[in-house]
């Protein structure tokens, strides 16, 4: 389907994409670039990429498909670095967790070539980062959200849909603002709460002893608190308005439950817990191939 993938950012998401594309026979050659030369070298040694590029621009040279798999705040600089080699026929995609800021960067930099850019967000991942965790199965059975804009070339959108479906993904299209509002609630806020929860415990004198006693519920609730700090700093700042809105809703809900506990209103408290319990029991992950 494709001759050459130019991969910019040979980490968890980019490396997993390259492995999945190769295994599916969807690309002949992968040319990769990461900011740190040792990462690019490791990606080559692991067989994630075939050729190391010394710059983002050279990774794009000769590519018919390009994947940006860098922190969202690095999108604009990356697009600036490659813009001279972007063509109308080239499919450019990203995997960024936020879409409004990424698209704004695309519009500013790519201008007449913005049609080549199909913004994507895979709803899969791990709390660990780096190419050493790249996994060809990461995308299979998962949801991919595409947020094309009015200027995105429909032929490129169709190519992207076909490609992700060939990797076993379920593709959904959304408006960028609706995407950012939804993921503030179901991804960015949960990460914020998990980070805050751990910090709140470790800041206490007895925090270490408390942590040593914790069980599976705590493990499940806090797994994502081990995620990459720079990546999450970028996501939270890029989607700050939506995230702060969701955080306010969360605090109000928390305060309401605190008030019931304080006043000993067991009936009201039970009702709210039952409401949450029912909602969670009936929730299923959007693409339900993997659990
Ligand atoms: N980790 C996850 O579970 C998910 C991450 N994402 C998004 O995927 C993107 C990549 O995340 P990961 O693969 O997890 O991170 P990662 O840290 O594993 O990989 C990022 C790679 O980009 C390189 N890099 C950083 N700045 C760069 C720049 N300016 N130019 C070229 N390379 C640069 C790093 O050296 C690293 O190799 C982020 O935008 C993130 O929001 C999306 C869905 C899930
Ligand atoms: O580790 C997990 O379960 C995640 O939630 C990974 C993740 C991180 C960022 C995203 O934009 C999407 C998925």
Ligand 1: atom nearest CA of 123 is 43
Q: Same domain for 221 and 276?
A: yes
For residue 289, what pLDDT is reported?
Answer: 52
The total of structural domains in the chain comes to: 2
Ligand 1: atom nearest CA of 126 is 3
Q: Domain for residue 225, yes or no?
A: yes
> 70, 81, 130, 191: which to mutate for ligand 1, most atoms within 8 A of CB?
70
Region 274-280: what's the mean pLDDT?
Answer: 98
Q: Domain for residue 290, yes or no?
A: no
Does 167 score more than 90 pLDDT?
Answer: yes
Tell whether pTM > 0.90.
yes
120 lines ligand 1 (CB under 6 A): no
Domain CATH for 163:
3.40.50.720
User: Which residue lies with its CA nearest to atom 1 of ligand 2?
Assistant: 126
Region 236-249: what's the mean pLDDT?
Answer: 98
Domain CATH for 268:
1.10.3660.10
User: Quick one: pLDDT band at residue 286, thresholds 50, 70, 90?
Assistant: confident
Give the domain range for residue 69. Answer: 2-174
35 lines ligand 1 (CB under 6 A): yes
Q: Same domain for 128 and 47?
A: yes
Q: Same domain for 98 and 231?
A: no
For residue 287, what pLDDT is reported?
Answer: 77
Distances (CA, A) of 86 to 1, 17, 71, 111, 255: 19, 20, 20, 11, 51
Does 269 score more than 60 pLDDT?
Answer: yes
Q: Which of 174, 198, 213 is the last residue of a domain?
A: 174
Region 189-209: what's the mean pLDDT?
Answer: 98
Does 202 score more than 80 pLDDT?
Answer: yes
Element (H, E) at 17: helix 12-23
Q: Same domain for 134 and 13?
A: yes
Q: Same domain for 135 and 101?
A: yes
Q: Same domain for 166 and 24?
A: yes
Q: Domain for residue 55, yes or no?
A: yes
For residue 288, what pLDDT is reported?
Answer: 56
Q: Domain for residue 288, yes or no?
A: no
Q: Same domain for 114 and 249?
A: no
12 lines ligand 2 (CB under 6 A): no
Q: Same domain for 165 and 195?
A: no
Question: Residue 158 and residue 28: Cα distance in Å, rounded?
Answer: 20
Other Cβ atoms within 10 Å of 12 Cβ, number: 24
Q: Collect all residues with Cβ–Cβ distance below 8 Å to 231 and sequence separation of at least 6.
A: 71, 97, 129
Q: For residue range 20-30, what is the model confidence (pLDDT) as tens digits? A: 999 999 999 99
Q: For residue range 60-94, what is the model confidence (pLDDT) as tens digits? A: 999 999 999 999 999 999 999 999 999 999 999 99
Q: Same domain for 189 and 123?
A: no
Q: Which of 118, 139, 174 is the last residue of a domain?
A: 174
ipTM value of the model?
0.98
For residue 290, what pLDDT is reported?
Answer: 44
User: Which residue lies with its CA nearest to atom 8 of ligand 2?
Assistant: 125
């Amino acid at each position: 389907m494709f001759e050459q993938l130019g991969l910019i950012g040979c980490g968890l998401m980019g490396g997993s994409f390259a492995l999945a594309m190769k295994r599916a026979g969807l690309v002949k050659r992968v040319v990769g670039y990461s900011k740190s030369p040792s990462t690019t070298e490791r990606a080559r040694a692991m067989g994630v990429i075939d050729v190391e590029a010394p710059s983002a621009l050279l990774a794009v040279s000769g590519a018919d498909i390009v994947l940006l798999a860098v922190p969202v705040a690095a999108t604009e600089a990356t697009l600036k670095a490659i813009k001279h080699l972007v063509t109308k026929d080239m499919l450019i995609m990203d995997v960024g967790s936020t879409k409004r800021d990424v698209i704004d960067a695309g519009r500013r930099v790519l201008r007449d070539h913005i049609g080549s850019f199909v913004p994507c967000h895979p709803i899969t991942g791990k709390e660990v980062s780096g190419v050493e965790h790249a996994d060809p199965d990461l995308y299979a059975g998962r949801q991919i959200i595409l947020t094309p804009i009015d200027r995105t070339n429909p032929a490129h959108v169709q190519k992207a849909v076909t490609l992700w479906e060939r990797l076993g993904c379920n593709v959904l299209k959304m408006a960028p603002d609706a995407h950012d509002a939804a993921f503030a609630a179901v991804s960015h806020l949960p990460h914020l709460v998990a980070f805050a929860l751990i910090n709140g415990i470790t800041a206490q004198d007895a925090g270490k002893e408390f942590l040593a006693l914790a069980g599976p519920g705590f493990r499940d609730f806090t797994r994502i608190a081990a995620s990459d700090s720079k990546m999450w700093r970028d996501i939270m700042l890029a989607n700050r308005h939506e995230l702060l809105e969701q955080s306010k809703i969360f605090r109000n809900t928390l305060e309401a439950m605190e008030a019931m506990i304080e006043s000993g209103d067991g009936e009201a408290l039970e009702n709210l817990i039952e409401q949450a319990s029912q909602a969670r029991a009936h929730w299923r992950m959007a693409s339900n191939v993997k659990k």
